[in-house]
Amino acid sequence: MTITRIDPEHRMSEAVVHDQTVYYTSVPENLDEDAEAQTANALAVIDRILTRVGSDKSKILDATIFLVDKADFPAMNRAWDAWVSPGNAPVRCTVQAGLMNPKYKVEIKIIAAL
């Protein structure tokens, strides 16, 4: 089985592909925005990486959303609901978590099929 590491660095890779499965964690790029805008941005980043490896959001199998403030849950869900592929929603869980960058309001980890 081949393991393909996308943009590998010493500490981590951008994404990893193994056995027709993509593993990726997205963080927002727009760190001065609110939770809804950060979520929408992190989801757009997911779209970009999935396209790069030959997949798309309809093939996401599992998503874990790390949310700093549980009060942002409705805002995060608005961005998610506007983005998720109709009829192809993955298994999803959302957890409240302290994230390493104090400007992050959300971080999203996905597993997708190719």
Quick one: pLDDT band at residue 1, thresholds 50, 70, 90? confident
pLDDT tens digits, residue range 69-102? 999 999 999 999 999 999 999 999 999 999 999 9
Measuring CA to CA, how many Å separate 98 from each of 6, 68, 75, 105?
Answer: 26, 6, 18, 9
> How is residue 16 written in tokens?
């990893």
pLDDT tens, residue by residue, 22-49: 999 999 999 999 999 999 999 999 999 9
Average pLDDT, the chain: 97
Taking alpha carbons only, the member of 111, 114, 103 closest to residue 56 is: 114
* Nearest-angstrom CA–CA distance, 14 and 23: 9
- Helix, strand, coil percentages in the chain from 3-state DSSP, rounded to 5: 30, 30, 35
Amino acid at 17: V
